[in-house]
Amino acid sequence: MSRKLTNLYIIAIVLFLSVEASAQVADAGNTPTWSFWLIGTLLGLSATSLYFNLRLKQRLNNKTKELKDRLEQSETVSHKLQYLARHDGLTGLVNRRVFSDLLSQEVLRGERYNSLFALMVLNLNGFKPINDKFGLGVADQTLQEVATRLHATLRESDILARIDGDEFAFLAIEVKDENALHLMCQRILATFTQPIKIEAHEIYLTARMGVVLFPNHGTDGNELLLNADLAMNKAKRTQKGYCIYQTETISKAV
């Protein structure tokens, strides 16, 4: 039965009951029947109006709740999209684009306040065989654990990003000098001394790092990233843990 037909039945029943009740009252009191019929009809119409007003209010409430739920879902999706636009979906770290923006901002701040900061680029050794041997799931969990360990080495003001598949970058704000930079690099590399345990596997990784200091080794973000990559390649060639960029020889490796 359609909703419209159902509503017509309800109106007819209410009117019938109201008029019938009025007629019985008229018969009992010897009052003109037409007046009670009129009263009954008016009461029936009032009851019907009240019924449909309640139905309408309920439908409006349901529609309002539905629209509110849709709006909340839309806002949730919007927030997720904004988050994914700024962060790496696997590790939750900021992505390369955002890191480049932050690096450029730090360059401007360094120029304004004549402050030092360091950029470090880290590449994992032996990661590709993990993916080939154990599969994508284990490889992803390994990257997540690496990100967690690296993040634990940061100071509150530092920034960590995943800028490529197995490559991470650090922005160390307000570094005092190169001695402090050496200690920071050693602390970061120490996170790889213990194996990463994923399911039944014990995974051993090492890393190579290229390090630059602003403004000694570059005066803009692109130059700093380029020189950090050069220093990292030098660390790989010399089988050292990290290399601090040197303008002429890139030879200061540890």
pLDDT in tens, 70-118: 776 766 656 666 766 888 999 999 999 999 999 999 999 999 999 999 9
More confidently predicted of 227 and 174:
227
Give the Cα-Cα-Cα angle 122, 182, 180 (nearest 5 degrees). 120
pLDDT in tens, 34-80: 454 555 566 556 666 666 777 778 887 887 777 777 776 766 656 66
251 pLDDT band, cuts 50/70/90, is: very low
d(CA 180, CA 129): 34
Report yes or no: 44 and 17 within 8 Å, Cβ to Cβ: yes
3 state SS of 206: strand
> pTM score > 0.85 for this model?
no
3 state SS of 252: strand
With a cut of 50, say whether residue 249 has pLDDT above it: no
More confidently predicted of 13 and 69:
69
